[in-house]
Structure 1
Amino acid sequence: MGSKERILKKKAEVARSILDVALHILTTEGIDGISMRKIASRIEYSLPVIYAHYRSKEIITDRLTDIGFIKLRKQMEKFVANSEGSSSPLEKMLTGYIEFAFENKSLYLLMSSKSLEKLSGEHYRSEAEKLAVDFKAVIKNSLPAQRKLRESEIDTVYYGMISLVHGIITVCFASGKFSGRERDLIISKFVKAIIK
């Protein structure tokens, strides 16, 4: 490996370390705990080194959001592939989404807040869009053959399902009211109503 390759490898390692520390801070202290100065202190690099990799906290949180959407897609795929029982793939995806939020609360909250902001990063949008494309494909494939929906109708179903998931997560975070069984029953009834 030449010196140029070593430099690029070291730069990638530092960039990854910055994100790892930022994710740890997010998980333990929340979004308000993340600062460029705190990250620099934790990885023992100077502040200019941090700014050389990421010009702002906003860029770091955009990258964390990318990581979150990638992890969420993998979680949903895992639930569809590994779950047994009578649940449809759509129900399994929704359950995977909710479980992701419970397991990654701070990251989920960051992702939710970012989706409400006016986003500037194309990379961020592409990760969120990949999730939406996967989700919409499962919706389309879950419909009976005789039930054809236009793309705009599939979009409406998608947003309805995302709203349901976020509503369940919000209630659970606020009060812990839903048991897993109750949540699964709500999801099942909603999906069956949509499919019919």
Structure 2
Amino acid sequence: MGTLERKQRLKEEVRCRILEASWQIVQEEGWHALSMRKIADAIEYTAPIIYGYFENKEAILKELTCQGFRILSAKVREARAKHDDPALQLEAMWMAYWDFAFEHQAYYQLMYGVDVDCCQLEASIRDAEKTTDLLDESLAKLIAESKNPHEDPCRRFYTFWAVVHGLISLNIVRKGTLSLDVNRSILKDALRAIIIDIKGCKAE
């Protein structure tokens, strides 16, 4: 390995250490505790060195947000692959979305700004669109097979998202009000009701 390759590998290793330290701080203390100085202390570097890899804390948050969306996209894609029927795909994908939110709650809170005081990054991240694209594809197929193939897919997508994201947010902000099992049942009922409505929707 040449000198240039070694330098590049070392640079990538330091970058990974910065992200790993950031994530560890978040897991132990929450997003509010994250700072460039605290990250530097965790990996025993000076703060100016951290700025050499990331312009500011927001740049680190954006990279962690991208990581979260990549994990979410993989889980949603995996859920869709288990079914051929678009109705079953949609239910499985939205349930995978739900599961991700609680298996990776810190990521979800950052990605969608739930009970987190930080900048909104989701709209500018291409990784966020990959999950939406997967959901949109199955929704388009379901609508095409429905009684009203001219139904507005955007309206239906946001109906799904409002229900799922709303229920997730309530559970994060008001944790313990209902058990997650009860909430999963509520979510399944809501998803199936929306799907049934799409299937039987007649043109107005």
TM-score, length basis structure 1: 0.85
Shift in Å, 1:28? 2.4
Please state if 1:176 is matched with 2:178: yes
Partners of 2:145 and 2:199 within 8 A in 1: no
Write the mapping of 1:19-168 to structure 2, written as runs, cut at 5 A.
19-82=19-82, 88-113=88-113, 119=121, 124-145=124-145, 147-149=148-150, 153-168=152-167
- Taking the aligned partners of 2:150 and 2:42, their CA distance within structure 1 comes to 51
Higher percent of residues as helix: 1
| DSSP-derived class of the 1:53 partner | coil
- Taking the aligned partners of 2:57 and 2:156, their CA distance within structure 1 comes to 34
- Taking the aligned partners of 1:137 and 1:82, their CA distance within structure 2 comes to 15
Shift in Å, 1:135? 1.5
Query: Which is further off, 69-78 or 171-180?
Result: 171-180
| CA RMSD across the alignment | 2.7
Structure 1 residues not aligned, in runs of 5+:
none
Q: 1:12 to 1:78 in 2, by over 3 A?
A: same
- Taking the aligned partners of 2:144 and 2:134, their CA distance within structure 1 comes to 18
Which deviations, in whole Å up to 9, do the C-alpha atoms of 1:77-133 show, x marking residues without a partner?
2223358xxx7100001000010001111110111119x9565x99x5211122221
TM-score, length basis structure 2: 0.82
Structure 2 residues not aligned, in runs of 5+:
none
Shift in Å, 1:186? 2.1
